């Protein structure tokens, strides 16, 4: 592969690493910054990777008719290179067809062999000629398969959502999951003056949040290094708004890393009181500590600790932002749709139930707990909360609509859904512990 095409090379290598290693796309994407020095190459490589991962199922459907066997059964390098080439041909108008095919063949020569190069050349040339005539499953006869293929989601997830909602509701959700996620920031209220990134636009539903249209160089900017803002989705911040921490209180964030909600809590308290940010991962707690230092938060105390284990101390407020299936953030984390399986849900739910119970144990009488996820699945959300309330006489639900009146995403709980509410999918429930 010529050195003049580092972006496509880096994209192919990253897709291979994503398949071979048990690491998420979030973990791997920063590696591009180390491999590529030019900002344009970084942006193009990221676009290629995210596009190939996001549209994987539809890409395979488009490619399969031109292969001797399904793309999923080809060698890894053949799969990655074909998907990268097809994505450029069918989604990136600014890339000439000839360039998309030629560079894919050169990648195949470098990472495969002559047979793979010949296959890539033949398949992509046929796709170039016939892409306007691709036939998709019949939406009337098999809506699950059609939506799964056309919007590139696993069939089991589409089927789950169609059991819960009708097609007119599910379609915008699927479509939104295939849009590039915005990068949003939360201003640091502890800074007397803040410098916003260029062209930033205010976004709701909470004040102090802005969308950054061009995030290139954001983390190297002086304003970021000096703690003027923190990267955070505004819908994720709803959990802390529902928790409503007050100056001078003791607060526990049970599953804290990377610290967006912990730093938001400390800032909301005016940096007066105590915020214990707990997480099981030492590396991730290091990120919480770095963010607290950058934002100038002295009240935040990061600790390495499993939230499921009992511990000493009673807190005025506890946030249990628990590990979940992350089906509400598939636009931001497109690989999650391929990493999740329905048989994983029971173990996730069991963990969530344990964490909610431990969180409640940490509450003082009269204290407030918020249980939150970035999942859309009712088993992880309403069912966990309702089951806990049934088992726990001292626990009382405080409807989210009391805190957020006249908001379409707030009734008993907070529930935002991509395609129907701006931003990520989120869930939050507020629970108060009886005085005695």
**Do the domain assignments include residue 197?**
no
**Do the domain assignments include residue 233?**
no
Helices and strands (H and E) in the chain: how many: 19, 12
Per DSSP bridges, beta strands 201-202 and 209-211 are antiparallel
Q: Are residues 370 and 242 in the same domain?
A: yes
**Do the domain assignments include residue 260?**
yes
Model confidence at 1: pLDDT above 50: no
Peptide bond between residue 160 and the one before it cis (omega within 30 degrees of 0):
no
Q: Please, are residues 145 and 155 in contact by the beta-carbon 8 Å criterion? A: yes
Q: Are residues 277 and 390 in the same domain?
A: yes
**Where is average pLDDT lowest: 8-12, 216-220, 336-340?**
216-220
Average pLDDT of the segment spanning 217-240:
94
Model confidence at 204: pLDDT above 90: no
**Do the domain assignments include residue 57?**
yes
pLDDT at 384: 98
Domain count, the chain: 3
**Model confidence band, residue 203 (pLDDT cutoffs 50, 70, 90):** very high
Q: What percent of the chain lies above the pLDDT cut of 90?
A: 86
Q: Are residues 326 and 407 in the same domain?
A: yes
CATH number of the domain where residue 361 is located: 3.40.50.150
pLDDT tens track for 100-129: 999 999 999 999 888 999 999 999 999 999
**Do the domain assignments include residue 193?**
no
Nearest in space to 372 (alpha carbons), one of 302, 419, 322: 322
pLDDT tens track for 355-414: 999 999 999 999 999 999 999 999 999 999 999 999 999 999 999 999 999 999 999 999
What are the φ/ψ torsions at residue 259 (nearest 5 degrees)? 105, 10
**Catalytic choice (90, 255, 324, 374):** 374
Peptide bond between residue 273 and the one before it cis (omega within 30 degrees of 0):
no
- Indicate the Cα dihedral angle 295, 186, 339, 410, nearest 10°: 130
Q: Are residues 154 and 94 in the same domain?
A: no
**Model confidence band, residue 98 (pLDDT cutoffs 50, 70, 90):** very high
Q: Are residues 245 and 117 in the same domain?
A: no
Q: Are residues 148 and 127 in the same domain?
A: no
pLDDT tens track for 316-326: 999 999 999 99
For the chain, the first-to-last Cα distance in angstroms comes to: 70
Q: Are residues 88 and 109 in the same domain?
A: yes
Helix (H), strand (E) at residue 301: strand 300-304
Model confidence at 311: pLDDT above 80: no
**Do the domain assignments include residue 336?**
yes
Q: Please, are residues 236 and 424 in contact by the beta-carbon 8 Å criterion? A: yes
Largest CA distance in the chain: 75
pLDDT tens track for 255-308: 888 899 999 999 999 999 999 999 988 888 999 999 999 999 999 999 988 766
Domain span including residue 17: 6-133
Helices (H), 211-361: 222-225, 238-243, 260-268, 282-295, 336-339, 345-361
Rounded Cα–Cα distance for residues 33 and 46 (Å): 10
**Model confidence band, residue 198 (pLDDT cutoffs 50, 70, 90):** very high
Q: Are residues 304 and 423 in the same domain?
A: yes
pLDDT at 56: 98
**Do the domain assignments include residue 379?**
yes
**Do the domain assignments include residue 185?**
no
Rounded Cα–Cα distance for residues 260 and 217 (Å): 20
Helix (H), strand (E) at residue 127: helix 114-130
How many other C-beta atoms are found inside a 10 Å radius of the C-beta of residue 391? 10
Q: What percent of the chain lies above the pLDDT cut of 70?
A: 97
The pTM of the full predicted model, rounded to 2 decimals, is 0.94
Q: Are residues 125 and 274 in the same domain?
A: no
pLDDT at 312: 54
Site of tokens 């804290």:
256
Model confidence at 32: pLDDT above 80: yes
Q: Please, are residues 160 and 337 in contact by the beta-carbon 8 Å criterion? A: no
Which of 177, 198, 229 is the C-terminal boundary of a domain? Answer: 177
* Residues in Cβ contact with 48 at an 8 Å cutoff, skipping those fewer than 6 apart: 7, 8, 11, 84, 87, 88
Q: Are residues 19 and 113 in the same domain?
A: yes
- What tokens appear for 409 in the block? 């995403």
Q: Are residues 358 and 251 in the same domain?
A: yes
Per DSSP bridges, beta strands 395-398 and 426-433 are antiparallel
Average pLDDT of the segment spanning 234-257:
96
Q: Please, are residues 84 and 106 in contact by the beta-carbon 8 Å criterion? A: no
**Model confidence band, residue 4 (pLDDT cutoffs 50, 70, 90):** low
- Indicate the Cα dihedral angle 178, 343, 379, 239, nearest 10°: -50
pLDDT at 2: 45
pLDDT tens track for 133-161: 999 999 999 999 999 999 999 999 999 99
Q: Are residues 266 and 359 in the same domain?
A: yes
Rounded Cα–Cα distance for residues 144 and 158 (Å): 6
Rounded Cα–Cα distance for residues 158 and 170 (Å): 8
Rounded Cα–Cα distance for residues 160 and 55 (Å): 20
371 three-state secondary structure: strand
- Specify whether 90 is catalytic: no
Rounded Cα–Cα distance for residues 106 and 47 (Å): 19
Average pLDDT of the segment spanning 322-340:
97
Rounded Cα–Cα distance for residues 296 and 306 (Å): 26
pLDDT at 387: 98
Site of tokens 């409640």:
360
Q: Could you tell me the strand order of the sheet in which 209-211 lies?
A: 201-202, 209-211, 184-187, 229-231
């Amino acid at each position: 592969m010529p050195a003049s095409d580092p972006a496509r090379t880096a994209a192919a290598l990253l897709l291979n690493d994503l398949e071979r290693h048990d690491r998420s796309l979030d973990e791997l994407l920063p590696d591009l910054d180390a491999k590529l020095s030019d900002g344009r190459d970084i942006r193009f490589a990221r676009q290629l990777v995210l596009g190939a991962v996001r549209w994987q199922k539809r890409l395979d459907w488009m490619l399969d008719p031109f292969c001797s066997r399904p793309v999923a059964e080809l060698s890894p390098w053949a799969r990655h290179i074909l998907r990268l080439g097809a994505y450029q041909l069918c989604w990136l108008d600014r890339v000439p067809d000839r360039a998309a095919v030629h560079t894919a063949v050169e990648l195949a020569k470098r990472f495969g062999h002559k047979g793979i190069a010949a296959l890539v050349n033949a398949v992509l040339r046929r796709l170039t000629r016939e892409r306007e005539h691709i036939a998709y499953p019949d939406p009337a006869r098999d809506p699950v398969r059609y939506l799964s293929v056309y919007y590139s989601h696993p069939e089991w997830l589409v089927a789950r959502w169609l059991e819960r909602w009708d097609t007119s509701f599910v379609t915008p959700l699927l479509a939104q999951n295939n849009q590039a996620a915005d990068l949003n920031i939360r201003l640091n209220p502890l800074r007397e003056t803040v410098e916003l990134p260029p062209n930033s636009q205010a976004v709701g539903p909470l004040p102090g949040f802005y969308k950054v249209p061009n995030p290139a160089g954001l983390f190297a900017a002086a304003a970021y290094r000096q703690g003027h803002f923190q990267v955070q989705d505004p819908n994720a911040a709803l959990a802390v708004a529902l928790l409503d921490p007050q100056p001078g209180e003791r607060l526990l964030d049970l599953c804290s890393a990377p610290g967006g909600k912990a730093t938001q809590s400390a800032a909301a308290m005016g940096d007066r009181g105590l915020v214990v940010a707990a997480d099981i991962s030492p590396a991730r707690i290091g990120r919480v500590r770095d963010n607290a230092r950058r934002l100038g938060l002295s009240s935040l105390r990061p600790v390495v600790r499993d939230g499921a284990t009992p511990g000493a101390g009673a807190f005025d407020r506890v946030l249990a932002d628990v590990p979940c299936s992350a089906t509400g953030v598939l636009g931001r984390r497109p690989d999650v749709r391929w990493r999740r399986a329905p048989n994983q849900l029971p173990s996730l739910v069991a963990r969530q139930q344990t964490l909610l119970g431990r969180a409640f144990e940490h509450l003082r009488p009269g204290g407030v707990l918020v249980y939150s996820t970035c999942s859309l699945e009712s088993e992880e959300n309403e069912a966990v909360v309702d089951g806990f309330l049934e088992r726990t006489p001292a626990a009382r639900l405080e409807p989210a609509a009391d805190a957020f009146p006249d908001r379409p995403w707030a009734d008993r709980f907070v529930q935002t859904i991509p395609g129907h509410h701006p931003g990520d999918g989120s869930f939050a429930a507020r629970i108060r512990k009886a005085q005695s």
